[in-house]
Chains A and B, each alone.
Chain A
Amino acid sequence: MRRLEVAPLTRVEGHGRVELEVIEDRLAAARVLINESPRLFEGMVLGRDAAEIPSLVCRICAICSTVHRLAACQALEQALGVIIPPRAALIRELALLGGHIESHALHLYCLVYPDLVDADSVLQPLQQGDPLAKDGLALKAFGNRLQTVAGGRRIHPINLEIGGVLHAPADDELAALQDELEGWLKRIEPLIEPFFREDAWPDAGPVAGLRIAVDGNGEFTLTGDNLVCSDSSMVNASGYRDLLQETALPDTNAKQSRKGGTSLLTGALARCEFASPGDKTTPFPPGIHANNAAQGLELVWSLERAHDICRQLRAETGDLCSPFRAGPGSGTCVIEAPRGILVHHYELDDMGRVGAADIITPTAINSTAMEEQLLADLADETDEPTMRQTAARIIRAYDPCISCSVHVLRVDRP
């Protein structure tokens, strides 16, 4: 038996590697290993006041800081029995969509696109004046603009707190965003087209894993109360443990999820399969790169939804934040991060301080499906360099965020 290593994985968020076991020229086992240092966030928040938690836990991961911050706000609001004003909910959703657009554009154009044009990094197509790379980067910048206007900052937003938001975007800012969104909606189709091309990637078998997503009742959504699974089961957010059954693995600094021994797939492809596709869709390419086409489709949906929200917000004048009192309670939020389901769960003591916390991230959920996919897609491959290259490309297609799949930090104390 020989062991092949793909390390470090490049053009992904965070530090990870893939180990392939080859017996008689055939792939016998594949493992996705997380090299990130555990950061133990669930321990770090213990004993802290609920009000501090959103700004603290958004530091788990930069690219998903808006969605982490919102997940914490929503879970803690549930624990404290707070209902946020409708205007605040719209501003929050705008920030969330901004993060979604920014993350998908970063992944598609900066991390995946180089594979499509045989480049080492996006810098080569950019320096050669490739219009798609240039527009992709501009779309990423626009997602950041939405996050800045609605969230107060691109990374580690400021505006999102328990009870609602701290301030509202000015009308002229919203009007400008509306114009820009209309511009993007006119330009988006050709920008996502390369990810739909059937001949863009080598042929591949079906995508592994039971699909799981936040239930949107057949529509595109990033938020909701329930988790839906492609085996037709549905659970309320508070029952997430039954569905995800997360276990800590001894030799990788992350936790994995599987349902009764079956791997789970979360992310853009799962979301798109649950949402009614409408008439805009062309067939997705075969294999896991369907996930990248799904990201493209979600870019369109996100731009449309953001446009709708800007219009609604311009007519809104209501409150921005509901008052709340510290106290006991427990709450769970399930929400869609760009790369899949994110769960935040908190239990507060009588003083409103965190007594227990549980955070489950999408890459942890997907890791078993990634391993299955590697085994299936590389079953007939005998050439080692191709095996390595293909493994890296397959993992990248999931848009893994390895820094967020780890939420832990160990400390030595005398």
Chain B
Amino acid sequence: MNRKRVGFFDLTGCEGCQLTVLNLEEQLLDLLEVIDLVEFRELMQDQAERLDIAFVEGSVVKPAEEERLRAIRAKSERLIALGACAATGGINRLATLHAPDHLWSSSFGRSEPLWEMGTPRPLAAVVPIDGEVPGCPIDGREFVSILQGLLMGQELEIPTFPVCAECKLAELPCSFEQGAPCLGPLTRSGCGAVCIRGGDVCRGCRGEVDNPRSGPYHRILEEHGWQVEQVLAELRIYPHQADGDDDAAAD
């Protein structure tokens, strides 16, 4: 059998999506029976010349990362954004809410930038991509099923219904009824409503579901006495979709 050559790459992020892949543990060993793992810096020293599938984690921040991403794109048949930072810019986009000199002085005690760097952007703002594995971090089971589909030459498919549906199926209590605002009605499912199951609310890490129904959502907010501004202030952590626009805040 002709095994697909698969590689993992990381730009700016926490490496949690690659760690989710490493955390597949036993299952990862089974996967290695059907793929040819050709590049994975955290785990091995090799570098590959050609890839069938490249999974790229993290946002594009430095000019050198832009170059690196273009090079990965050029040598890869399919390029998949691995996780929120790669797919939408993720939590890195929060930096767009602050003036740069303020950010620098808060972290390094001086307002002039120390290094050349651009606005954090999702991969799609730099190169065309062939799909995404959503989430912060990604869901290991979803990753395996997406990889299986890719190995069989299928188009990458992710759920098109909101987290709210999974939450209802799991018969979890509604966050709004517990007095907390939640992004479940607008966010792409596939996580099994893991945060709500754990007692938290949905913070929208998987990005916006296709065709979100904002009318009913506004009614829910109104019914429970929440203002849109309040919800934005508390839950504006993840961008809702890929947007490389430099001054578009994560709203």
CB distance from B192 to the nearest CB of A (A): 11
Residue contact A14 to B203, C-beta cutoff 8 Å? no
Residue contact B198 to A166, C-beta cutoff 8 Å? yes
Question: How many residues of chain B are within 8 Å of chain A by beta carbon?
Answer: 64
Residue of A nearest to B90 (CB): A59
Residue A210, interface by CB 8 Å: no
* Residues A409 and B103 in contact in the complex (CB < 8 Å), given A52-B234, A153-B194, A167-B198: yes
Question: Which of the 9-residue segments B15-23, B151-159, B219-227 touches chain A?
Answer: B15-23
Residue contact B16 to A156, C-beta cutoff 8 Å? yes
Residue contact A10 to B44, C-beta cutoff 8 Å? yes
* Residues A63 and B19 in contact in the complex (CB < 8 Å), given A121-B44, A253-B114: yes
Residue B177, interface by CB 8 Å: no
Residue contact B25 to A410, C-beta cutoff 8 Å? no
Residue B109, interface by CB 8 Å: yes
Residue B71, interface by CB 8 Å: no
Residue contact A255 to B43, C-beta cutoff 8 Å? no
Residue contact A123 to B44, C-beta cutoff 8 Å? yes
Q: Which residues of A contact B91 (CB under 8 A)?
A: 44, 56, 59
* Residues A155 and B16 in contact in the complex (CB < 8 Å), given A110-B43, A411-B100: yes
Residue contact B23 to A408, C-beta cutoff 8 Å? no
Residue A215, interface by CB 8 Å: no
* Residues A152 and B198 in contact in the complex (CB < 8 Å), given A10-B41, A37-B65, A49-B234: yes
CA distance A8 to B9 in the complex (A): 13
Residue contact A40 to B104, C-beta cutoff 8 Å? yes
Question: How many residues of chain A are within 8 Å of chain B by beta carbon?
Answer: 66
Q: Which of A167, A403, A414 contacts B246 (CB 8 A)?
A: A414
Q: Which residues of A contact B15 (CB under 8 A)?
A: 13-14, 61-63, 403
Interface residues as binary, B106-124 with A (CB distance below 8 Å gives 1, 0 otherwise): 1111100111011110000
Q: Which of A8, A141, A155 contacts B25 (CB 8 A)?
A: A141
Among residues 52 to 86 in chain B, which have CB atoms less than 8 Å away from a CB atom of chain A? 61-62, 65
Residue contact A122 to B43, C-beta cutoff 8 Å? yes
Residue contact B237 to A56, C-beta cutoff 8 Å? yes
Binding site for A on B (CB under 8 A): 10-17, 19-20, 22-23, 25-26, 29, 32, 37, 41-46, 61-62, 65, 91-92, 94-100, 102-110, 113-115, 117-120, 136-137, 194-195, 198-200, 203, 233-234, 237, 246-247
Q: A40-B103, A46-B106, A409-B95 given. 20 additional CB < 8 A pairs?
A: A8-B41, A40-B95, A46-B102, A62-B20, A62-B137, A127-B32, A138-B25, A141-B26, A154-B20, A155-B23, A159-B199, A248-B109, A255-B108, A408-B104, A410-B95, A411-B120, A412-B117, A412-B118, A412-B246, A413-B100
List 6 A-B residue pairs with CB atoms under 8 Å apart, sorted by A's residue number.
A62-B15, A62-B16, A141-B25, A144-B25, A410-B113, A413-B119
